[in-house]
Structure 1
């Protein structure tokens, strides 16, 4: 498997778990996909740590779902992977919100987790 395919496989493992937790509106499960010291920047002021992630996703409306597409990957270190994505957040009662998302995934024997999450909107 080439480097890009291997990188995407790692990202998909983590992001598929993240997506399943977002779609289930399970904030604690979403937060479990992040490192304990993760820097998290959604569309509100940033937080550090899992509790901030859980609080952010708890504030999202039930029925919100996420669909992501990996645009780019880079291996920054043996245990750190950068992913750049397009994510569509769909809602029951409002139009879909498309954002760009950058994540850093830290790989470890205890499990791969998101250590940095940065959302931006271009429109």
Structure 2
């Protein structure tokens, strides 16, 4: 497997674990996907730092929300132990609320697994 394929697989694997944790509202699993000092920018106005902050953020998300239509658009290597990715995600809930976003990730290899070092979500809009 070449390096580029390996990084794409790493991003896909982390995104699949992220989606499973999000959709099951498993805050422990979600926080465990992130580096201890992860930088996180969700829908909130302020960036957050730490696994605990990530868990608190996701704890405020309604448990009935789901991440759907998830696809990795781009992935790349940033050295041997780091990778980046750009993901298209649509969040939905039973009340017909919907938010399409682009998610950018920076991953780092920690021992035998990849973890999220930086996470940034940007809502997709037709407005400029």
Same fold (TM over 0.5): yes
1:1-123 correspondence to structure 2 within 5 Å: 1-44=1-44, 45-67=46-68, 68-123=70-125
Q: Please give the secondary structure, in 1, of the residue aligned with 2:83.
A: strand
Would the aligned equivalents of 2:102 and 2:123 in 1 still touch at CA under 8 Å?
A: yes
- Structure 2 residues without counterparts, runs of 5 or longer: none
Aligned residues: 123
- Structure 1 residues without counterparts, runs of 5 or longer: none
Would the aligned equivalents of 2:8 and 2:76 in 1 still touch at CA under 8 Å?
A: no
Q: Please give the secondary structure, in 2, of the residue aligned with 1:102.
A: strand
User: Could you tell me how far 1:111 is from its partner in structure 2?
Assistant: 2.0
Per the normalisation by structure 1, the TM-score is: 0.92
Q: Could you tell which deviates more after superposition, 8-17 or 80-89?
A: 8-17
Q: Please give the secondary structure, in 1, of the residue aligned with 2:7.
A: helix
